[in-house]
């Protein structure tokens, strides 16, 4: 049985130490530096994502204000300006993303950027619900630091962690490791297994009220993964999507789930990655109903985050 990340091969290709999703029919157009410095019109909440080609975007939830906020060019990966893994601060005022030099913070009101973690291996940043901390991956280690980049310390070391998020209370992290889901206090202590079965599970995300855990899994039997939900304290696992989906994240008020899905050339969702032509950010109700695209039809998009 292939693992989850093996099944993402049609969407994700590893190059030059970064992740590039080969998930659109054409590479993105080159944009000037002035285009990348203008922040979008503010509305609540703010959504951030990357296009898989090395550019991070922000937009308003209603689809307006779509703008790139990271360096752009004809080939960001080859030009050394590849950026990805965007996370929006809970108040919707800032976005942190990974790039060649480490983690960069972008202020939406001014367009100002500054490097908050100089570490070329740093990626996958995630804010705590109170906005005071950021967790990130570097090599085989999960770190937690203050949101200004200070006081970084290792929480998980010497393993192969991935896809981590803070729990709603902010005192623990949940992450995937080798197909099962694990939770650990950020102050130190023994990790505990939240879900481990014969399936490959990843991308865990709690609802803001802490009642529900949403995650990606291959238990649907397709050539890919789908999204599922279970009570936070354990119980029946229910299906949210029937087609390929990863990267679930709740809106701050818990009213919707944003996620990455694979679509074909007609922009219809697919469950077999061999039929995929593009990745798309979509949204749905927490029970899986009302699934609909969030990003424009021709915009490659993945790994959504929302705040504000």
**CATH number (domain holding residue 141):** 2.120.10.30
Maximum distance among all Cα pairs of the chain, rounded to whole angstroms: 51
**pLDDT, position 201:** 98
**pLDDT, position 227:** 98
Is pLDDT of 11 > 80? no
Among residues 248, 241, 177, which one has the least CA distance to residue 213?
248
**pLDDT, position 30:** 44
Q: What is the mean pLDDT of residues 47-69?
A: 96
DSSP collapsed to 3 states, 66-119: CEECCCCCCCHHHHCCCCEEEEECCCCCEEEEEECCEEEEEECCCCCEEEEEEC
25 pLDDT band (50/70/90 cuts)? very low
Give how far Cα 185 sits from Cα of 133, 147, 172, 212, Å.
14, 18, 4, 19
**pLDDT, position 254:** 97
What radius of gyration, in Å, describes the C-alpha atoms of the chain?
18
159 pLDDT band (50/70/90 cuts)? confident
pLDDT in tens, 218-260: 999 998 999 999 999 999 999 999 999 999 999 999 999 999 9
Q: What is the mean pLDDT of residues 288-306?
A: 97
- E strand or H helix at 34, and its extent? helix 33-36
158 pLDDT band (50/70/90 cuts)? confident
How large a percentage of the chain has pLDDT more than 90?
A: 77
Give the CA-trace dihedral at 3, 8, 13, 14, to 10 degrees. Answer: -40
Cβ-count burial 262-274 (b if 16+ within 10 Å, e if not): bbeeeeebbbebe
**pLDDT, position 127:** 98
**pLDDT, position 198:** 96
How large a percentage of the chain has pLDDT more than 70?
A: 86
**pLDDT, position 274:** 85
**pLDDT, position 187:** 94
Give how far Cα 304 sits from Cα of 173, 189, 197, 261, 294, Å.
19, 30, 27, 11, 10
Is pLDDT of 34 > 80? no
Q: Mean of the per-residue pLDDT values for the chain?
A: 87
Q: Are 174 and 230 in contact (CB under 8 A)?
A: no
Sign of torsion, CA 284 287 289 290?
negative
Is pLDDT of 43 > 80? no
Pairing of strands 192-195, 201-206: unpaired
Is pLDDT of 277 > 90? yes
pLDDT in tens, 79-111: 889 999 999 999 999 999 999 999 999 999 999
Name, in order, each residue with C-beta under 8 angstroms of 238's C-beta and a sequence gap of 6 or more: 228, 229, 230, 288
Q: What is the pTM of this model?
A: 0.87
Is pLDDT of 29 > 70? no
Total domain count for the chain?
A: 1
Rounded to whole angstroms, the Cα distance separating 42 from 108 reads 8
Domain hosting residue 142, numbered range: 4-307
**pLDDT, position 60:** 96
**pLDDT, position 132:** 98
Rounded to whole angstroms, the Cα distance separating 194 from 233 reads 9
**Partner residues linked to 282 by β-bridges:** 259, 293
Rounded to whole angstroms, the Cα distance separating 256 from 208 reads 11
**pLDDT, position 67:** 96
């Amino acid at each position: 049985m292939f693992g989850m990340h093996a099944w993402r091969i049609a969407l994700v290709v590893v190059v030059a130490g970064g992740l590039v999703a080969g998930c659109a029919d054409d590479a993105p157009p080159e944009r000037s530096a002035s285009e990348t410095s203008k922040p979008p019109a503010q509305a609540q909440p703010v959504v951030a994502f990357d296009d898989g080609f090395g550019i991070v975007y922000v937009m308003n939830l209603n689809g307006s204000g779509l703008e790139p906020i990271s360096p752009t060019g004809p080939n960001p990966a080859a030009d050394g300006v590849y950026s990805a893994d965007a996370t929006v601060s809970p108040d919707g005022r800032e976005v942190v993303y990974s790039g060649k030099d480490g983690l960069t913070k972008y202020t939406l009101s001014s367009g100002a950027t500054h490097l908050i973690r100089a570490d070329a291996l740093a990626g996958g940043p995630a804010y705590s619900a109170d906005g005071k901390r950021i967790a990130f991956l570097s090599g085989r280690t999960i770190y937690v630091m203050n949101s200004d980049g200070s006081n970084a310390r290792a929480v998980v070391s010497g393993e192969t962690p991935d896809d981590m998020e803070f729990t709603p209370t902010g005192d623990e992290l949940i992450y995937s490791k080798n197909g099962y889901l694990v939770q650990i206090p950020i102050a130190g202590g023994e990790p505990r297994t939240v879900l481990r079965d014969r399936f490959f599970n990843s991308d865990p995300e709690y609802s803001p009220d802490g009642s529900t855990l949403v995650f990606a899994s291959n238990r649907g039997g397709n050539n890919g993964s789908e999204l599922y939900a279970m009570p936070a304290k354990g119980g029946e696992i229910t299906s949210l999507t029937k087609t390929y989906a990863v990267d679930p994240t709740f809106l701050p008020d818990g009213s919707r789930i944003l996620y990455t899905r694979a679509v074909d050339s007609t922009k219809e969702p697919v469950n077999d990655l061999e039929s995929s032509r593009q990745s798309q950010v979509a949204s749905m109700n927490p029970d899986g109903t009302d699934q609909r695209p969030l990003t424009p039809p021709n915009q490659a998009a993945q790994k959504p985050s929302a705040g504000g």
